[in-house]
Chain A
Amino acid sequence: MRGITPYRQNYWDWRAAGNFMYGGTGSGLIVSSLLALAYGEPTLLHVLIGLVFMGTGLGLVWLEIGRPFRALNVFLHPQRSWMTREGFVATVAFGVGAAAMWFGHALLIAGTAALALLFLYCQAHILQASKGIPAWREPTLAPLIIATGLTEGVAASLALVSAAFTMTMVALVVLLTLRAWSWRRYRLASETGMPTAAARVLAAFSMPFLLLGHVLPLALLIADMALGNRYPALTYFAAVLAFGSGWTFKFMVVRYAAQTQGFAIIHRPARGPRGSGGEGVKPGWGS
């Protein structure tokens, strides 16, 4: 039974989390094809795997909705709904991406990458528009979602490049740094702008995420760079950590930090003919 204090939402389960995990990595992978493109390397696999990932994420959402045979109604509200916008951008991305794979034209690949970035932007704003979940509506989450999607995509792309390998490593170093900084901002915001239970989840997640998801992969990448790329296993391990920590983070945010707003009264009511009102209460927040 729903209570007064914030509780962990159950409307969006692992399937919704999967959309952010697959969608973020997929779109990040397609964006990372620009690096391969700059080095004249093939980008077919970036685009193909990226689109398959995006499609898998959307497929998981389709499995979650209550009326799957009405799914096309998702396209009816582009004026205001980020979910509709995500659907439109994905549809166009699939079309342009298919053309890019068929013709291999640089402009089409760049266009698909731009659409993938837009898709990631929509995903970030889907969460931010969820005003009922303080951990999602927190504005610093949107850049973090974008940063982690790009980080995962670039990490995954290391398995697909050769000439662009070093540049992709550099990009991963930059993105990991950016993601760590975005996480720090989000974490700090959680201390005042979230229910206690959500802030606790984020606090417990913080140190392992920073150490295993950022410090260790950065150290491995820098070590491999310093050693002249003689130990690519170090870089691949760093990529696995960057990728895995990103997925863990998104699963944690969607499933475990997702406490509802709860209820609050600003004033307690006056009771009885001589009673007076007083301070209200906001259960589950602060302390």
Chain B
Amino acid sequence: MTRYVMVADLRRCVGCQTCTAACRHINGTPPGVQWRRVLDMEIGVYPDVHRAFVPVGCQHCSDPPCLDVCPSTATRKRDDGIVTIDYDICIGCSYCAVACPYDARYKVSRAEFAYGGEGMANEQAVFDPRRINVATKCTFCVDRIDAGTAKGLTPGVDPEATPACVNSCIAQALHFGDIDDPDSNVSKLVRDNEHFRMHEELGTNPGFYYLWDAAGEEEK
């Protein structure tokens, strides 16, 4: 089996938001819609304060509550673990949005562009009226993955088959790949590092691993 996941190395992320910009550029998401976000989290109390930059977005959960609740079956999970939305079926009820514990879903009621008007060329190129009044979220750049794998490329290794946010990351903090393949880049990263997944206690089985230290160094 294949399960595509994202790995975010929190030690490397500098919060530059290049991934956010890359996602918005390639997907033409309207203002206020960020399928890939980077949170700037403050930890501790003065004088012992730390910051962490935490990339978030759809976690492509293996047990996605958004899929369970969706009355129209617009939300589905593919065999490779990617959770998709069929814009032609979605009724825009937003039930998935309140079911998602990762605040990953959006719904906009009109076409809007970053600088108004008809939008920039990149926005026009990917503008899809089917995305108005329905739920949207990070797709893991599923079209790139499908086009890439059709050419025999490996997602997470070959940029042409890899999500835009991962390609753009200036610090190599974001990684993508098949966690079911023990030899994949992501499997090795997860094996060699201390990691956690967010809100795991909610039973969503998220596909987003956060690295926070080298393996076995918790007591450092």
Asked if B72 contacts A12 (CB within 8 A), the reply is: no
With A and B bound together, what is the CA distance between A45 and B50 in angstroms?
64
Known contacts A4-B41, A9-B98, A278 near B71 by CB under 8 Å: no
With A and B bound together, what is the CA distance between A2 and B49 in angstroms?
23
Q: Does A130 contact B (CB under 8 A)?
A: yes
Point out the residue from A2, A65, A75 that lies within 8 Å of B93, measured CB to CB: A65
Asked if B196 contacts A129 (CB within 8 A), the reply is: no
Smallest CB gap from B92: residue in A: A66
Which among A23-31, A82-90, A212-220 touches the partner chain?
Answer: A82-90
With A and B bound together, what is the CA distance between A260 and B199 in angstroms?
13
Contact with A along B181-220 (1 / 0, CB 8 A): 0000000000000101011001010000011111001101
Q: Of residues A77, A271, A283, which shows the largest number of chain B Cβ atoms within 10 Å of its Cβ?
A: A77
Point out the residue from A2, A77, A276 that lies within 8 Å of B71, measured CB to CB: A77
Chain A interface, number of residues (Cβ within 8 angstroms): 53
Nearest-Cβ distance from residue B196 to partner chain A, whole angstroms: 4
Smallest CB gap from A258: residue in B: B98
Smallest CB gap from A129: residue in B: B69
Which among A36-44, A131-139, A183-191 touches the partner chain?
Answer: A131-139
Q: Does B166 contact A (CB under 8 A)?
A: no
With A and B bound together, what is the CA distance between A266 and B52 in angstroms?
12
Asked if A76 contacts B72 (CB within 8 A), the reply is: yes
Smallest CB gap from A272: residue in B: B11
Chain B interface, number of residues (Cβ within 8 angstroms): 57
Point out the residue from B39, B89, B103 that lies within 8 Å of A73, measured CB to CB: B89
Asked if B43 contacts A268 (CB within 8 A), the reply is: yes
Asked if B213 contacts A73 (CB within 8 A), the reply is: no
Point out the residue from A68, A133, A263 that lies within 8 Å of B98, measured CB to CB: A133
Asked if B103 contacts A130 (CB within 8 A), the reply is: no
Known contacts A1-B32, A281-B42, A276 near B217 by CB under 8 Å: yes
Asked if A81 contacts B11 (CB within 8 A), the reply is: no
Nearest-Cβ distance from residue A248 to partner chain B, whole angstroms: 21
Q: Does B111 contact A (CB under 8 A)?
A: no
Using Cβ atoms and an 8 Å threshold, which residues of chain A touch B10? 265, 268-269
Q: Which of A273-287 contact B (CB under 8 A)?
A: 275-281, 283
Using Cβ atoms and an 8 Å threshold, which residues of chain B touch A283? 41
Q: Of residues B67, B199, B217, which shows the largest number of chain A Cβ atoms within 10 Å of its Cβ?
A: B199
Asked if A81 contacts B70 (CB within 8 A), the reply is: yes
Nearest-Cβ distance from residue B93 to partner chain A, whole angstroms: 5
Known: A12-B94, A70-B90, A263-B103. 6 other contacts (CB 8 A): A9-B97, A11-B98, A64-B94, A83-B93, A131-B204, A270-B212
Chain A interface residues (CB < 8 Å from chain B): 1-2, 4, 9, 11-12, 61, 64-68, 70-71, 73-77, 80-84, 87, 126, 129-133, 136, 258, 260-271, 275-281, 283
Top 3 A-B pairs, shortest CB-CB distance: A66-B92, A66-B133, A269-B10
8 interchain pairs, CB-CB under 8 A: A66-B134, A76-B89, A87-B71, A132-B98, A132-B99, A265-B196, A268-B10, A270-B212
